């Protein structure tokens, strides 16, 4: 789990895959996020830290328009995926979400078998033959480091798995769709240390091919797995990105007073 030293790969070397431009979110009258500008480079782990309730999860959900499902949220500004806005009228939102997957805080397992859960998204994107289904399930479960634990009981109910296994199953389900970006919303906060290690190890492996945006409130985890960090803080009642920097720089010498205060209180 060796992490290369600060700012590698250099932020300008890798192309930017996801970018927010003056992204603001309102819930009715209340401003949740104000004018967020982020640039997220390919094949990096981009961490989002900050105090509870500052809007980290909301920011994450804006990145694949899951905010659409909450009718009271109003998003202004823009998010560019590979240079194209995902908020203009004619964008295929479902296609965007297939390219930008999501892993939630609590594993969301459907009351079906393990293999049905893995293929839940993929089988809706294109028709799969019996063999393709098997190969895809094996590949996705393998990539999520779960294959060896479940290969003999693929048809058992997924709810029988431990919470840690369920979370890896959810990751396998997202990977089966072959997303370019995976958004993770505190994916280990419900897990025991061993499962947490497994997920963190996976994040390291996954970033060889994919980009990961990770919300975490665990500073040690941010130090272990992220390359770049954005810190979301509350200012004047609304969430703002107070500082963006390479992981080591922010954690050792934050420039912004709010970030310094947050790190001081949150440090383990």
Partner 1 sequence: MRRTADKLFTCLAVGAALLAALPLVLIVSAIVWRGLPAVDWRFLTGQVMQVGAAGGVFYNLIGTLILVLTALLVSAPLAVGAALTLGVYLKPGGRAQRWFGLLVYTLNGVPSILFGLFGLIVFVKFFGWGKSWLAGGILLGLMILPTVTVALWERIQSLPRRYIEAAAGLGLTPTQIVWSVILPQSVNGLVTGSLLGLARAAGETAPIMFTATIFAGATWPTGIKESPVLSLPYHIFILAQDSFDPAAGAKIWGAALVLLALVFLLSLLALPARLKIHEEAHHG
List the one residue from 2, 4, 5, 69 that touches partner 1 (CB under 8 A): 69
Helix (H, G, I), strand (E, B), or coil: what is residue 82? coil
Pairwise CA distance, residues 176 & 137, whole Å? 7
CA-closest candidate to residue 259, choices 49, 109, 46, 4: 49
**Helical H segments across the chain, by residue range:** 56-62, 93-99, 114-118, 122-125, 130-143, 147-150, 163-176, 193-206, 219-225, 247-252, 257-266
Give the dihedral sign, CA 113/63/235/47: positive
If the CB atoms of residues 10 and 93 are measured against partner 1, the closer one turns out to be: 93
If the CB atoms of residues 159 and 209 are measured against partner 1, the closer one turns out to be: 159
The one-character DSSP state at 180 is S
Position 111 contacts partner 1 (CB under 8 A)? yes
Position 126 contacts partner 1 (CB under 8 A)? no
Residue 97 C-beta: closest distance to partner 1, Å? 4
Pairwise CA distance, residues 147 & 36, whole Å? 39
The one-character DSSP state at 144 is T
Residue 77 C-beta: closest distance to partner 1, Å? 21
List the one residue from 74, 95, 151, 257 that touches partner 1 (CB under 8 A): 95
List the one residue from 31, 43, 77, 104 that touches partner 1 (CB under 8 A): 104
Contacts for 241 with CB less than 8 Å, ≥ 6 apart: 36, 37, 38, 230, 231, 232
List the one residue from 10, 13, 27, 125 that touches partner 1 (CB under 8 A): 125
Size of residue set near partner 1 by CB under 8 A: 25
Residue 47 C-beta: closest distance to partner 1, Å? 20
List the one residue from 64, 165, 218, 221 that touches partner 1 (CB under 8 A): 64
Residue list 132-191, contact with partner 1 (CB under 8 A): 170, 173-174, 177
Query: Given the rule CB under 8 A, which residues bind partner 1?
Result: 64, 66, 69, 71, 94-99, 101-102, 104, 106, 108, 110-111, 120-121, 124-125, 170, 173-174, 177
């Amino acid at each position: 789990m060796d992490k290369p030293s600060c700012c590698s790969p250099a932020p300008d070397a890798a192309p930017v895959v996801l970018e927010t431009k003056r992204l603001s979110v309102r819930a009715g009258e209340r401003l949740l996020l104000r004018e967020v500008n982020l640039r997220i480079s390919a094949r990096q782990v981009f961490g989002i830290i900050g105090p509870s309730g500052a809007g980290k999860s909301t920011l994450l959900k804006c990145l694949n328009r899951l905010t659409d499902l909450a009718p009271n949220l109003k998003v202004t500004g823009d998010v560019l995926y590979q240079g194209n806005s995902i908020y203009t009228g004619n964008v295929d939102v479902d296609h965007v979400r297939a390219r930008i997957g999501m892993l939630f805080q609590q594993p969301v397992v459907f009351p079906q078998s393990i293999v049905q859960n893995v293929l839940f998204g993929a089988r809706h994107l294109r028709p799969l033959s019996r063999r393709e289904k098997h190969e895809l399930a094996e590949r996705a479960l393998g990539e999520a480091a779960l294959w060896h634990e479940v290969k003999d009981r693929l048809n058992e109910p997924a709810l029988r798995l431990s919470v840690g296994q369920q979370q890896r199953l959810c990751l396998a389900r997202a990977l089966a769709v072959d997303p370019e970006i995976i958004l993770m919303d505190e994916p280990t906060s419900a897990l025991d240390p061993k499962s947490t290690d497994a997920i963190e190890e996976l994040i390291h492996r996954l970033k060889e091919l994919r980009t990961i945006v990770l919300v975490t409130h665990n500073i040690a985890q941010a130090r272990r797995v992220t390359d770049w960090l954005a810190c979301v803080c509350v200012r004047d009642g609304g969430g703002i990105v107070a500082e963006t920097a390479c992981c080591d720089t922010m954690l050792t010498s934050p420039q912004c007073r709010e970030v310094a205060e947050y790190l001081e209180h949150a440090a383990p």
